Amino acid sequence: MKILKFGGTSVGSVENVRRIGEIVLNQHDKIIVVVSALGGVTDQLLAVAQQAASGVKINGELVSIRTRHEDLIKGLFNEEDSIKTIQALQPLFDELEKIVQGVTLIGELTPKTLDKILGFGERLSSILISRFLNVQLIDSLAVIRTDRNFGKANVDFERTYKLISEACASVVQFAVAPGFISSAPDGSMTTLGRGGSDYTAALFAAAVHATQLEIWTDVDGFMTADPRVISKAYTIPMLTYSEAMELSHFGAKVIYPPTILPVYQKSIPIHIKNTLNPDGDGTLICQSEANTKDHPIKGISSISGISLFTIQGLGMVGVTGISMRLFGALAKEEINVILISQASSENSISFAIDSHFADTARDAISLEFEREIASGRISKLNCESELSILAIVGENMKHSAGIAGKLFHTIGKNGINVVAIAQGASEQNISWVVKNSDLRKTLNVVHEAFFLSPYVELNIFLVGIGTVGRDLLSQISRQQNKLKKDHRLKLKLAGVANSRKMIFDREGIDLSTLKDAISQSEAKSDLNVFCQTMVEMNMFNSVFVDCTADAKVADHYLFVLENYISIVAANKVAASSEYSRYRALKEMAAKHGVKFLFETNVGAGLPLISTINDLMRSGDRIVRIEAVLSGTLNYIFNTLSKDIPFSKAVRMAKEIGYSEPDPRIDLSGIDVIRKLVILARESGYKIEKEEVINNSFIPDKYFNSSIDEFWNTIGEMDEVFEKQRVVLEEGKQKWRFVGVMDQGKASVSLQIVDPGHPFYDLEGSNNIILLTSERYNEFPMLIKGYGAGAAVTAAGVFADLIKVSNI
């Protein structure tokens, strides 16, 4: 025999009831169908009872309940059978109306009367479903015996199992029974508490030693996390009884927790199925499963609206009975404690409860410990609200070392503060408390960290969609599927700003429609608002990407890092600014466990900074750097010819996109100085830009005028460079603008190199660097390649993004 339970949503519409019929009538076993009230009817009945006790007219609600049942009947039956079924329900509607009128007259609603009223939902639906299926109806009031604890009655298991067994013995193939309702020894109607229909089904299953209990609801089963928060959550195929109990206790509202005990005691499996998706696999709950360590965490549950109390005082240390008195006082007020955390020194106890009972709890504790508080033995009674409890659950956690370490490292590096922690000795769950505002972020990072998500997600906030920014987005778009497939990485654009407008989308901005989306946005670009919105969105694995050359953008870096958001910067302003600012950013990133990456500040996509970092971390010391670091200047001097004068080569460099928007930054040597300073700092030297000797090769007057005047007069230098070029050509020599750092002393200058020099064969806009270290002394390390251009710079930014993801 199998027991099938159908929830309120399942019996709430014509289509769903017909689906129940298909599910039941296609079964080959003997079947007992346990049904809940129509979806929402129990809440309507509760409202009716409360309003009646307050003297409010309730005719409208009663009519609504009747109408819902009659409309369902008319959709399921032919006209003749509809009339008969409505007539079968009429005595219950009459009885309900009389009871409610009585409550209205006396103005009092006792727990006993409330149970009587609330039970009508299941009584009505069970008659309706049994007549639709044309099967026997078992009266749960006659077979489930409880005490008189109205509202949540305690079951007399021995008597109940005997009565159910006797009633089911006469079932030929199918029968229907109402859930939720029961009766006391004196015949008074009682109820089994909210979710009691699940409990009813479990009692039937245990009584008849069913082969399986199926709970048909409106979800596919237990999910790895709340799908309303985690879009990547998926159905857990199998759970043990204890795992299901833990997840249910901490907020997974798939099954009523007391349901599990009766079937657990008889080793009866529970199968959670979706009435709306009957072909889905659902979740199977059973005694045990294979001990696999691949996924020690089965799922994450959460409860919001929590208050955390802390009672503290040196007078508690070594005093017996404190905990007993504390939780006894709460028990008297029927306050359920969800989580407990106690200091090993015994000077404090923290516990979490539903926030609705916070005031009552405070009063109860204050009264119980009135003398201790007055004498100072208890010095603190604190209540913190607007909190949430989360729990990771999995029996195999006890077989897997490092779960707690990984959990709290993941939470911490995302800037989430843990308020309290609790873990049982069974190691089946770890629970912790966070602010409500951090709940979504915490669920996401934990779900991802334990491979409950199919991929790691990186949320990108991009400032600057010029040449580099556009190329970056293009590369991301082309590589997205490969990254998902091969590296479990999804890059999601959550915010973007150009110089005029900005847009945000928590679900991700479609790259194919970005141009139209940002042009249609009504939000004007504002760096302060952009950064503040990014922080307020509080998304996990966030990274701020700066593809500008704007000092104002760099001014926001410290704020970004302070809020646990990594930075990837093509903008070299911050790393080459005052040394104290550079150090502050590096230290803030290290302190908060986020990344501040700026590989493309020097050499575009060349691995210069990362190579220096690797050498330094391995114990080497950089003693000298010689480098051609300006792809723009290298392009200009390689392009000079009899037919292409200096001024034309400069203009070509700008048109191609090699130079800065104002090419004088390149020509002045300032750009090379910035890059050399960054390399020197990453090599461990404290150096400022002003300390670098700049041997400029162009008179200062070209840098002191306007950009328009520069373009009008730069041609004056053509003849000077042409004369020198001819001489160099005759001597088979070339110009290279070289930066040198030797033991912390730095300079930049235009140098002439001979054919045998490593810098001689440097084509186009390529960069080259010679690193001399204590290890690479006699033969310096040489790195050479493209050093300018939007595509290679974007590729370098892309590579830094991959580093942030830690794949």
Strand bridging mode 31-35 / 174-178: parallel
Looking at residue 805, its pLDDT comes to 85
Q: In 453-488, at which residue ranges do the beta strands (DSSP E only) sit? A: 456-463
Looking at residue 419, its pLDDT comes to 93
* Whether 382 contacts 359, CB under 8 Å: no
Per-position b or e across 51-81, b if 16+ CB within 10 A of its CB: bbbeeeebeebbeebbebbeebbeebbeeee
Listed residue (280, 284, 274) closest to 219, CA to CA: 274
The neighbour count for residue 742, using CB atoms within 10 Å, is 13
Helices and strands in the chain, H and E counts: 31, 28
Q: Token pair for residue 89?
A: 């329900």
* Whether 381 contacts 373, CB under 8 Å: yes
CA 377 to centroid of chain Cα atoms: 42
Out of 116, 435, 675, 734, the active site residue is 675
Q: What angle do CA 436, 508, 501 make, to 5 degrees?
A: 100
Looking at residue 294, its pLDDT comes to 59
- Let me know if 158 is exposed, middle or buried by CB neighbors in 10 A (0-12, 13-18, 19+): exposed
> Which positions of the chain have pLDDT values less than 70?
251, 289-294, 345, 425-426, 451-453, 807
> Taking each helix axis from N to C terminus, what angle separates 59-76 and 14-25, rounded to the nearest 10 degrees?
50
Q: Cα–Cα distance between 509 and 198 in angstroms, integer?
A: 42
Q: Cα–Cα distance between 68 and 61 in angstroms, integer?
A: 11
Looking at residue 426, its pLDDT comes to 67
Q: Cα–Cα distance between 804 and 597 in angstroms, integer?
A: 8
Q: Cα–Cα distance between 631 and 626 in angstroms, integer?
A: 15
CA 156 to centroid of chain Cα atoms: 44
Q: Token pair for residue 257?
A: 């927790």
The stretches of 640-686 forming alpha helices (DSSP H) are 646-656, 664-667, 670-682
Looking at residue 452, its pLDDT comes to 63
Q: Bridge partners of 308?
A: 352, 384
Listed residue (377, 383, 381) closest to 357, CA to CA: 383
**Separation of first and last alpha carbons in the chain:** 50
Annotation marks residue 675 as catalytic: yes
**Residue whose structure tokens are 């491979």:** 451
